[in-house]
Structure 1
Amino acid sequence: MKMPPIQWLQLPQEVLLHIFTFLSPTEKANVRATCTYLRTLVDHPSLWKNSIIVFKSIGIYNARFWDTLQNRKICSVEVSKVTLKQFKKMACSLPDITNVRMDSCLKGEILQGLQPLLNLKQLQLSDCSNVTDHDLFTEIVFFQQLTHLSLCRVTFSSVLPLTSIVLLQNLYSLSLHSKEGIVPERALQYILFRLPKLRELSLAIGNMNKWKLSLCFNMPDNFVSAFEDKPCIPRLQLHKLELMNCGCAGLSTNALNQLSTLKSVCLRHFKYLQHEDFIETILLKLPNLTELKLEWAAPFEPLMCPISSKLENLSVVGTQISNAALVWFSKSANGLKCLNLNFSYGYDEDVVKKFPCLFPHLQKLYLSNTRLTEESLVVLANLYSLQVLDISNNLHLTPEAILAFRKITSNRIGLILERPIESVKYCCW
């Protein structure tokens, strides 16, 4: 029976706020337009704490708009077309901003507009190609409270500008994706050993060879810099490492020793895996590794016998992987809880039917764009720990087959049935 409007409005505010958390932004806007009381509720900061406001053009908004965003305590914004004056307007209107992403080409001294944001923690710049590295880092080091910094399409002219990052002593996450795929290894080595809080690192390293890449993770020797007062830490404490667009495979023993604290490794657009033992070496030399991602990389075929690993999360996205490689992973990481094979290929339905035996502890399984039949879907019901199953973009499963699976599993598994078919977008492309 439908509740009369007057009774619905008499529900406690905390109940209404909880209900509104399930609404989309468009649905919230519709509720907000009904009356002053609901407008006030919809603007409650708890409903917007994880929201990202996307600005296409800042200059078109009036004071009332900025007041609304300020009342909601918006913390994250993404901007495209913007001038220095507009950046200053946004920073003054939204002083609580902690996260800024600029999704267009950075120009001139525009970052000066963010200087009023004393609480800025995360800064992501997707295109730095029109700014010299000297000018870029001169502006960035002003934000010494930053914990996350991501710079894409940077051109490094020399060693010294990059070393100024050591002034950002609170950095937890650093992404350096250069325009030419070249990062000065000496400068990178210098800053890595002088950022004591750094735990996450992402590098687009182009054709950097094994020895130059390894040098970045080796204890630096004598090195001249303007920031010699920053002490050198004895060991890296990285937890997450991402290597992109790499033309080499391998790290020296000394480098792997410095990376022994890693819990997650992502190799994206990695060119050489098929004839190297890099994957096996990573699993063998990194004892704390629980997550491995091979995304849009070269085919991988194991060369060694199964080795003991603590791996819990394996992601092979857009990459060829054979039945034999999946079996090898099942023996090397028998405690695997998450397996992502979205857009991957090279294996067949026969090995999918063996997943309950190969990966009995799986809690999440992603098979978007994988050819599955009703028979193989029924077999996957025997994954008794499974909580999430992605079978989107599958043209071979009928609604009847999916309904039968739901009945067999008593709806204990959350099914993902729809996902846009699109290539993954990375900010440095």
Structure 2
Amino acid sequence: MMPEIQWLQLPQEVLLHIFAYLSPAEKANVRATCTYLRTLVDHPSLWKNSTIVFKSIGIFNARFWDTLQSRKISSVEVTRVTLKQFKKMTSSLPDLTSVTMDSCVKGEILQGLRPLVNLQQLHLTDCTNVTDQDIFSEIALFQQLTHLSLCRVSFSGVLPLTSIVLLQNLYSLSLHSNEGTVPERALQYILFRLPKLRELSLAIGNMNKWKLSLCFNVPDNFVSTAEDQPCISRLQLHKLELINSSCASLSTNAFDQLSTLRSVCLRHYKYLQHEEFIETLLLKLPQLTELRIEWAAPFVPLMGPISSKLEKLSVVGTKISNATLSWISRSASQLKCLNLSFSHGYDQEMVKSFPQLFPHLQNLYLSNTWLTEDALVVLANLYSLRVLDISNNLHLTPEAILAFRKITSNRIGLILERPIESVKYCCW
């Protein structure tokens, strides 16, 4: 082991590279050893991808804020905060570019965002106590925003929502309605006036096929007025997420406008086999490489012949049969990522056939599913596999896991522990 004095003689860039592999708790231990290492651990390069979670802001002193400022913290998540506390945070962390408010937002708190002139990402997870007029009047001030998420928001009409067109740099937009409806004309208006928009998430439980399809059709008044934002002729979305939807499908014109999609997520979706919806997605969206079906109705497509470029498939908390998995292997022969966490409906013999059905798999997620020791051994034959999630599996013994590591020479990263809870979503 290298003596302490030799550690301190290493170049700073070498120490920073080593510290980059440490967890926050490990960094805190190193930081407590001496003034020199404390200064190094506070270097901004070690914290540039970190999000600080504040559950209570009032308990922190000036030294704490000075430490965060020296680290140039740019991302925070805040819960239970007063306007005075929020102003303290924004004045102490002028470099903030991303703010998530995981609490019930009020209009006065939104006003506290104004000093954040560099804000690029804003996520409000509970807008039930603030009107849409207040929300959009404040958000319109941040024309540099690239990511905007609004959950549990109530729409009073068309006009407030249309002010989003002022955010011409918007790349990602999430609108999760409190009542399950979004004004379709307003949504259509903004989608065709945000030329940089690539990601869209909608929670729209009460919108039928035709209302939702209208959002993805070129507005009738295509020629815009001089003072209006110009209207684009085609959408360029790469990612679409539909939550709590009862919409069975989309119109042909809508699919045409969505032909650039690379990723589709259907969460809490009620219809997966109506009108051959899954097959239609794979046929009408030629660029699709990722399909996510999470906590939805049973995934039972009609299983007709389909040529697909699908590389990632996630079927979480949903019933999926042996026959469907076999159909997927024929339709998506180049599948690299398969997530079956919390899913059911297939048996262990199907799992044992994965090396033949999905020979190109690099990531396989089987968290909270039944996996036998025999099936685990067979999965060692997935020679491209690099990550295997077998967390929360009560049927695997430590001896079986150790044997698997020996068989694979530790080339596969095993995920053995994960909180027994679903992924955190801002809307259900």
TM-score by length of 2: 0.97
Deviations 1:62-90 (A, max 9, x none): 22221111110000011112222322222
Shift of the 228–221 alpha-carbon distance from structure 1 to 2, 3 Å rule, reads farther
Which residue of 1 is the match for residue 184 of structure 2? 185
Aligned residue in 2 for 1:215: 214
Shift of 1:26: 2.1
CA distance in 2, matches of 1:72, 1:247: 46
Separation (CA, whole Å) in 2 of partners of 1:247 and 1:200: 21
State the partner residue of 1:197: 196
The equivalences for 1:140-159 within 5 A come to 140-159=139-158
CA shift at 1:167, angstroms?
0.3
Distance change in 2, residues 1:227/1:336 (3 Å): farther
Instruction: Give 1:83's aligned residue.
Output: 82
The 8 Å contact of residues 78 and 103 in structure 1, kept in 2 or not, is answered as yes
Deviation (angstroms), 1:208? 0.7
The 5-angstrom pairing of residues 61-100 of structure 1 reads 61-100=60-99
2:383 counterpart residue number: 384
What displacement does 1:280 show? 0.5
Q: Return closer, same or farther for 1:226/1:43 CA change in 2, 3 Å cut-off.
A: farther
- What SS does the aligned partner of 1:109 have? helix
Residues 188-197 or 102-111, more deviating: 102-111
Cα separation, 1, equivalents of 2:198 and 2:226: 21
Rounded Cα–Cα distance in structure 1 between residues aligned with 2:114 and 2:137: 13
How many angstroms apart in 2 are the aligned matches of 1:226 and 1:185? 21
1:102 matched to 2:101? The reply is yes
Give the AA of the match of 2:51. I
Out of 42-51 and 214-223, give the one that drifted further: 214-223
Matching residue's letter, 2:319: Q
* 1:98-154 CA distance string (max 9 Å, x none): 000001111123222111211110000001111111111011100100000000000
Displacement of 1:302: 1.8
**Helix, strand or coil at the partner of 2:107:** coil
Structure 1 gaps of 5+ residues are: none
* Aligned residue type for 2:292: K
CA 1:407–1:60 in structure 2 vs 1: closer, same or farther (change >3 Å)?
A: closer
Q: Are 2:340 and 1:341 equivalent residues in the alignment?
A: yes
Q: Secondary structure at the match of 1:270?
A: coil
Residues of 2 paired with 1:226 and 1:208: CA distance? 29
Deviations 1:220-245 (A, max 9, x none): 11399999510100000000000000
Q: Aligned equivalents of 1:367 and 1:11: distance in 2?
A: 42
Cα distance, 1:396 vs structure 2? 1.6
Alpha carbon RMSD of aligned pairs, Å? 1.6
Structure 2 unaligned spans of 5+: none
> Which residue does 1:136 correspond to in 2?
135
CA gap 1:121/1:278 in 2 versus in 1, 3 angstroms:
same
Closer/same/farther in 2, CA of residues 22 and 304 from structure 1, 3 Å limit: closer
Which structure 2 residues correspond to residues 258-269 of structure 1 after superposition, within 5 A?
A: 258-269=257-268
Equivalent residues of 1:129, 1:179 under 8 A apart: yes
Distance (Å, rounded) in 2 between the aligned partners of 1:400 and 1:227? 72
Residue 3 of structure 2 corresponds to: 4
CA displacement, residues 314-335 of structure 1 (integer Å, 9 cap, x when unaligned): 0000110001111111111111
Q: Which residue of 2 aligns with 1:235?
A: 234
* Contact in 2 for aligned 1:291/1:314 (Cα 8 Å): yes
| Secondary structure of residue in 2 paired with 1:208 | coil
Give the C-alpha shift of residue 413 in structure 1.
1.2
| 2:329 alignment partner, SS class | helix
1:398–1:359: structure 2 CA closer, same or farther, 3 Å change rule? Answer: same
- Tell me, yes or no, if the aligned pair for 2:224 and 2:230 is still in contact at 8 Å: no
Deviation string 1:259-296 (CA, Å, 9 cap, x unpaired) is: 00000000000011144411100000000000000000
Provide the C-alpha distance between the structure 2 equivalents of 1:115 and 1:303, rounded to a whole number of angstroms: 52
Cα distance in 1 between the residues matched to 2:88 and 2:373: 57
Aligned equivalents of 2:102 and 2:143: distance in 1? 22
Judge conservation of contact 2:272–2:301 (CA < 8 Å) in 1. Answer: no
Q: 1:11 to 1:5 in 2, by over 3 A?
A: same
1:405 counterpart letter in structure 2: F
Q: Tell me how many residue pairs correspond in the alignment.
A: 428
SS at match of 1:124: strand
The alignment status of 1:288 with 2:287, answered yes or no, reads: yes
The answer for the alignment partner of 1:415 in structure 2 is 414
Is residue 2:57 matched to residue 1:58? yes
- Aligned partners of 2:390 and 2:196: how far apart in 1? 39
Distance 1:4 1:328 in 2: 59
Kept in 2: contact 1:56–1:80 (CA 8 A): yes
TM-score, normalised to structure 1, is 0.97
Instruction: Report what 1:121 is aligned to.
Output: 120
Tell which deviates more after alignment, 57-66 or 411-420: 57-66
What is the rounded CA distance, in whole Å, between the counterparts of 1:356 and 1:171 in structure 2? 42
